[in-house]
């Protein structure tokens, strides 16, 4: 019973390049959440997606960041023209049902650590 999978685990990019982070939710989960953790900070919500739909992107920076969760394949968090301030750990979580039921638990992946040189 595989958990949430993220790849790559580590990603190094130079300023101005693009970063693509992938997340495969747990089997049977159709809700995906992306969080970012800056050094010495807690996790900050970025975006919530269901298959082919962005439900809530209130935590996403307005520029350079985008996310998708296609019908087939993993969810992708894309960062264009990366800057040093994008260096962080990016975590993906999935849940079986929408987190409208407060008790529904989110299961987290191991994260992708992005370093921008």
Partner 1 sequence: DQQVKQNSPSLSVQEGRISILNCDYTNSMFDYFLWYKKYPAEGPTFLISISSIKDKNEDGRFTVFLNKSAKHLSLHIVPSQPGDSAVYFCAAPVKSGAGSYQLTFGKGTKLSVIP
Residue nearer to partner 1 on the CB measure, 58 or 72 = 58
- Among 7, 12, 11, CA closest to 74: 7
Q: How far is the CB of 15 from partner 1 (least distance, A)?
A: 25
Q: How far is the CB of 48 from partner 1 (least distance, A)?
A: 6
Contact 66, 75 (CB under 8 A): no
Residue nearer to partner 1 on the CB measure, 17 or 87 = 87
Residue nearer to partner 1 on the CB measure, 14 or 53 = 53
Q: How far is the CB of 81 from partner 1 (least distance, A)?
A: 26
Cα separation, 25 vs 81, in Å, equals 27
- Among 9, 50, 1, CA closest to 26: 1
Q: How many angstroms separate the first and last alpha carbons of the chain?
A: 37
Instruction: By CB under 8 A, name the binding residues for partner 1.
Output: 4, 6, 9, 33, 35, 40-45, 48, 55-56, 58-59, 91, 93, 98-100, 102-103, 105-111
Residue nearer to partner 1 on the CB measure, 13 or 31 = 31
Question: Does residue 71 have a cis bond before it (omega within 30 degrees)?
Answer: no
């Amino acid at each position: 019973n595989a958990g949430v999978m993220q790849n790559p685990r580590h990603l190094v990019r130079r300023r101005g390049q693009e970063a693509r982070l992938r997340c495969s939710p747990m089997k049977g989960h159709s809700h995906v959440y992306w969080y970012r953790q800056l050094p010495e900070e807690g996790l900050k919500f970025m975006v919530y997606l269901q298959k082919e739909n962005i439900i809530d992107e209130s935590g996403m920076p307005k520029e350079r960041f985008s996310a998708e969760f296609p019908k087939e394949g993993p969810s992708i968090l894309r960062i264009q023209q990366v800057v040093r301030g994008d260096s962080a750990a990016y975590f993906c979580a999935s849940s079986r049902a929408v987190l409208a039921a407060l008790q529904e638990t989110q299961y987290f992946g191991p994260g992708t650590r992005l370093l921008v040189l």
